[in-house]
């Protein structure tokens, strides 16, 4: 049995708390919101974000960060990506040397273009940081629906420890050392999911969705390989797997926000209607900045930015994507090197 602190009481943090408790672990859940903690203490349910999923009576709920961090074997950092840095800074005084932190949020920091694990390592250098990602809606994990996911860590022993901690008969865990690839796939698929939702809002069909998924993963993989990631990562759970589920499911807040935008809502109106953090909005600018930094063509990400931040009509963005210059579908990404450019692909 391990002592685990869940930092963040949103839907994903709560779903993982339920999973880890069923695996026989001691769970303490922290939230910065007193009303949220009061609700959890009184009802043992996250009624706002994960209704119907009951929490065990012996779980501890607190607004005191030190109570959820000190003495814990593992910390699960489950705050929305825009709050990763600030929360990490608050955690730092309480984190012991070598204490394991598993980041489960998805995003890239716009100002620095750092992934979330890089932010945590910068803010809490004494921590042993890993990531957990893959096609895994909280609504299904909380109900025990079979799910497969990947843990990424620079240390094999850390990855194996976390694999054993999370894995059970309905939650299969793979491990990988390609932490950057996992995080890029996790963050940028949310941008493509916005595009898929926009297409749905415009009334387009399955053909359009399939095109966005396949060309979206091509964009993400091009960037990832240029940044030193493994192509296999983008063919796996945190690449094409996560992209499919996020583009196709109504559990996806990014797809739901995209649908509203496709129907004519502004970005702000869509985010307000969804009532949860739409991670793809925060990752869109960062994704496009990375594309420019590494000289990689990412037309879907580019046009999502135009719709979100430049008031381009969604229908016009689709037209521009369809009428781009003719291209060859495949380039051998394994051969990309200093003398090979992907600018025109």
What is the 3-state secondary structure of 122-184?
HHCCCCEEEEEECCCCHHHHCCCCCEEEEEEECCHHHHHHHHHHHCECCEEEEEECCHHHHHH
Q: How far apart are the first and last CA of the chain?
A: 50
Give the confidence band of 343 by pLDDT, cuts at 50, 70, 90. very low
The CA distance from 224 to 108, in Å, is 13
The CA distance from 120 to 184, in Å, is 16
> How many other C-beta atoms are found inside a 10 Å radius of the C-beta of residue 252?
24
Question: Does the domain formed by 3-177 have CATH 3.40.50.720?
Answer: yes
Mean pLDDT, range 229-241, rounded to an integer: 95
In sequence order, the β-bridge partners of residue 128 are 100
Give the confidence band of 96 by pLDDT, cuts at 50, 70, 90. very high
- Structure confidence by residue, pLDDT tens digits, 168-218: 999 999 999 999 999 999 999 999 999 999 999 999 999 999 999 999 999
Average pLDDT over the chain reads 92
- pLDDT at position 17 is 98
Phi first, then psi, for residue 166 (nearest 5°) are -90, -25
- pLDDT at position 194 is 93
Q: What is the CATH number of domain 180-335?
A: 1.10.1040.10
- pLDDT at position 143 is 96
CA quadruple 8, 13, 19, 23: dihedral sign:
negative
Give the confidence band of 323 by pLDDT, cuts at 50, 70, 90. confident
**189 is known as an active-site residue:** yes
The CA distance from 287 to 283, in Å, is 6
> How many other C-beta atoms are found inside a 10 Å radius of the C-beta of residue 21?
17
Mean pLDDT, range 97-125, rounded to an integer: 97
- pLDDT at position 276 is 75
- Structure confidence by residue, pLDDT tens digits, 16-30: 999 999 999 999 999
- Structure confidence by residue, pLDDT tens digits, 41-62: 999 999 999 999 999 999 999 9
- pLDDT at position 127 is 98
Phi first, then psi, for residue 180 (nearest 5°) are -60, -45
- pLDDT at position 331 is 58
- Structure confidence by residue, pLDDT tens digits, 145-161: 999 999 999 999 999 99
The CA distance from 189 to 283, in Å, is 9
333 pLDDT exceeds 90? no
Q: Do domains 3-177 and 180-335 have the same CATH topology?
A: no
In the chain, where the domains are located: 3-177, 180-335
171 vs 326: which has the higher pLDDT: 171
310 pLDDT exceeds 80? yes
338 pLDDT exceeds 70? no
167 pLDDT exceeds 60? yes
341 pLDDT exceeds 60? no
Give the confidence band of 268 by pLDDT, cuts at 50, 70, 90. confident
- pLDDT at position 75 is 98
Structure token pair of residue 224: 């990832």
Mean pLDDT, range 304-331, rounded to an integer: 84
Catalytic residue selected from 189, 209, 226, 285: 189
Give the CA distances from residue 322 to residues 64, 212, 316, 325, in Å, rounded to whole numbers and listed in that order. 52, 11, 10, 9
Half-sphere CA count of 134, side-chain side, radius 13 A? 20
> Given the structure tokens 């990602």, which residue do they identify?
133
- pLDDT at position 332 is 59
- pLDDT at position 342 is 44
């Amino acid at each position: 049995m391990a002592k685990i602190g869940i930092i963040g009481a949103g839907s994903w943090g709560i779903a993982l708390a339920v999973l880890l408790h069923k695996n026989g672990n001691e769970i303490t859940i922290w939230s910065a919101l007193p009303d949220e903690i009061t609700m959890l203490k009184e009802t043992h349910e996250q009624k706002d974000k994960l209704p119907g999923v009951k929490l065990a009576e012996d779980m501890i709920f607190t607004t005191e960060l030190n109570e959820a961090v000190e003495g814990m074997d593992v910390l699960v950092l489950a705050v929305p990506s825009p709050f990763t840095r600030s929360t990490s800074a608050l955690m730092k005084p309480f984190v012991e040397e070598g204490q394991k932190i598993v980041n489960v949020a998805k995003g890239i920091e716009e100002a620095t273009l750092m992934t979330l694990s890089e932010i945590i390592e910068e803010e809490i250098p004494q921590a042993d940081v890993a990531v957990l990602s893959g096609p895994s809606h909280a609504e299904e994990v909380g109900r025990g629906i079979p799910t497969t996911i990947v843990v990424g860590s620079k240390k094999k022993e850390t990855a194996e420890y976390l694999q054993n901690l999370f894995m059970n008969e309905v939650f299969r865990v793979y491990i990988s050392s390609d932490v950057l690839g996992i995080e890029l796939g996790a963050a940028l698929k949310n941008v493509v999911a916005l595009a898929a939702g926009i297409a749905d809002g415009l009334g387009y069909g399955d053909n359009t969705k399939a095109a966005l998924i396949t060309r979206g993963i091509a964009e993400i993989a091009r960037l990832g390989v240029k940044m030193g990631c493994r192509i296999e990562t983008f063919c796996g759970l945190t690449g094409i797997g996560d992209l499919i589920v996020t583009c196709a499911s109504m559990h996806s807040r990014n797809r739901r926000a995209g649908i509203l935008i496709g129907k004519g809502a502004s970005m702000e109106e869509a985010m307000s209607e969804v009532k949860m953090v739409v991670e793809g909005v925060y990752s869109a600018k960062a994704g496009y900045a990375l594309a420019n930094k590494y000289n990689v063509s990412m037309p879907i990400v580019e046009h999502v930015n135009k719709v979100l931040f430049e008031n381009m009509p969604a229908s016009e963005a689709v037209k521009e994507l369809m009428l781009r210059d003719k291209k060859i579908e495949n380039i051998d990404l394994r051969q990309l090197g200093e003398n090979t450019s992907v600018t025109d692909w």
